Structure 1
């Protein structure tokens, strides 16, 4: 990934919002298959991978068939790929209801059962189900490419941030419900979920964790007046003492009403090294967890380049690990 700021595109919320809303709905169709997978702490098993062309589910295995679903943002289509055949569905124009119907027909032809539920989740003001979403939408290829570029750039930084952590950390990916790119670190300490929230949200709060991510609309996860597009972070359970801290990057700020640290995309892309800034932002959030909530400091290996590791004797690496 380039470190030049002009390689990080400008993102205008109003221009991207229709496509973000459309993609958020259609990725939930195949995303539902993850609900039948073995549960990973914090719902880490449900994330969609950011691929060279879009977003992809993990590989699923049903009786007699293995498959995955690839939402190709750069191509405006969806490819359902099995160990035998594949099907391609266009996203050029149509309703979510029409896509869902075509998807169910295609998977049936491939010997795959349809998703067990058609409920639309975590999208304010959305119809109850895919079948009810009859609004005709047109694919915007330029907006789709900007979405992919932003997700790929942010994922690159978040993966670098996660690399040295030894604790439980689901892979970096897009949560298909809220449609945010997430990198989460867990601490083996039970936590008490927020009462009154949906069961899946309470499941995610059964253990202490901190999350750093990217979102196209932070207003969905916060009710404060803040830049909608950019990086976010939070610590669960939220400790005291987060006010007045430095968050590693100029422009990152704590929003106490939302319980979030936010770093606007416009600020991030203008920094000398946005990739490094994401790593520094995440490190600052973890440091806050250490200092305010007693998170461990002995759960890291040295952060080094892969080629450096390949030419460094094992004994040297072992010494570095012992030294922290």
Structure 2
């Protein structure tokens, strides 16, 4: 098997559900710290986490004239907290309750003389157990978390390519810790109908702001299908969008109201990158074409793609 295929790790959703659900809550805690310390950016882009060479991180958070940076290290399995005055705190990522992770994280912040307040309960999950009370989620399997991170590395690469091919307004490739998905979003430049909201344990104003402009979004979600899935959707969804022809193995999920391409289908393909990109490009082009988006210079010089 060539290197291009072996980079795509197999990770059964059912096998790592306990660890994924625990990690999800830990990521929400750190994501909320970033949100509390960062100025607001449209569509909630200031709350997200980003892929790093060792795991997932906040990037720079301005705190009291300093910079705070928090990183989940999925190689040595540590949470590392750094400040721009040269101070550092870390602790091991290992089986522990969400309540214990919450306590340790804020103890590390206190040791760095960082004061920050967050809403101490998760969003977009039900039930939303307050972090300090969550002794239910406690699993951490390092090999599973590392495999998840390698999935993100592959997804990040193809999503970055998709984003690079569009000259209009587009989000970075970033991880939203609410639903735990890695995503990038294109915008037509026109306002969208008011979103109805309805996400679990999440104020409607969050979805209203996130979807205030007409968009086409794509990403990778580790909780769908057998091994996770790439997805694509448009808001508002134009007529005929769900009937668009997509690559073999992909399909429109009427319950989720989005196109799905199972991760295992990509992983087993002769050229995984080519299949994932074909899916992402076809669905993005259909959203713009069927939604009659205003003309923009959609391609980088030399890319040769819409």
Normalised by the length of structure 1, the TM-score is 0.86
Which sections of structure 2, spanning at least 5 residues, go unmatched? 199-203
Partner of 1:260: 258
The offset of 1:92, in angstroms, is: 1.2
The offset of 1:123, in angstroms, is: 2.1
Partner of 1:51: 52
Contact 1:78 1:91 in 2 (8 A): yes
- Counterparts in 2 of 1:78 and 1:190: CA distance versus 1, 3 Å: same
Which sections of structure 1, spanning at least 5 residues, go unmatched? 219-225, 306-319
Partner of 2:21: 21
The offset of 1:227, in angstroms, is: 4.9
1:280 lines up with 2:286 in the alignment = no
- State how many pairs are aligned: 298
Which deviates more from structure 2 when the two are superposed, residues 138-147 or residues 33-42?
33-42
Which deviates more from structure 2 when the two are superposed, residues 154-163 or residues 132-141?
132-141
Partner of 1:112: 114
1:32 lines up with 2:32 in the alignment = yes
3-state SS of paired residue (2:242): coil
Provide the aligned C-alpha RMSD in A: 2.1
For 1:123 and 1:80, the matched residues in 2 are separated by 26
Contact 1:3 1:274 in 2 (8 A): no
1:76-102: CA deviations, max 9, x gaps? 210001112010022212211111111
3-state SS of paired residue (1:211): strand
3-state SS of paired residue (1:69): strand
Which deviates more from structure 2 when the two are superposed, residues 65-74 or residues 35-44?
35-44
For 1:5 and 1:94, the matched residues in 2 are separated by 34
3-state SS of paired residue (1:158): helix
Contact 1:208 1:236 in 2 (8 A): yes
Partner of 2:211: 205
Partner of 1:298: 296
Structure with greater Cα Rg:
1
3-state SS of paired residue (1:243): helix
1:133-148 equivalent positions in 2, closer than 5 A: 133-135=134-136, 137-148=138-149
For 2:262 and 2:137, the matched residues in 1 are separated by 32
For 1:210 and 1:275, the matched residues in 2 are separated by 20
For 1:303 and 1:24, the matched residues in 2 are separated by 39
The offset of 1:49, in angstroms, is: 1.0
Partner of 2:222: 216
Which deviates more from structure 2 when the two are superposed, residues 30-39 or residues 251-260?
30-39
3-state SS of paired residue (2:243): coil
Partner of 1:8: 8
1:175-212: CA deviations, max 9, x gaps? 01111001111121111223353210111111111111
For 2:80 and 2:49, the matched residues in 1 are separated by 14
Normalised by the length of structure 2, the TM-score is 0.90
Which deviates more from structure 2 when the two are superposed, residues 148-157 or residues 33-42?
33-42
The offset of 1:297, in angstroms, is: 4.7
- Counterparts in 2 of 1:304 and 1:69: CA distance versus 1, 3 Å: farther
1:177-192 equivalent positions in 2, closer than 5 A: 177-192=178-193
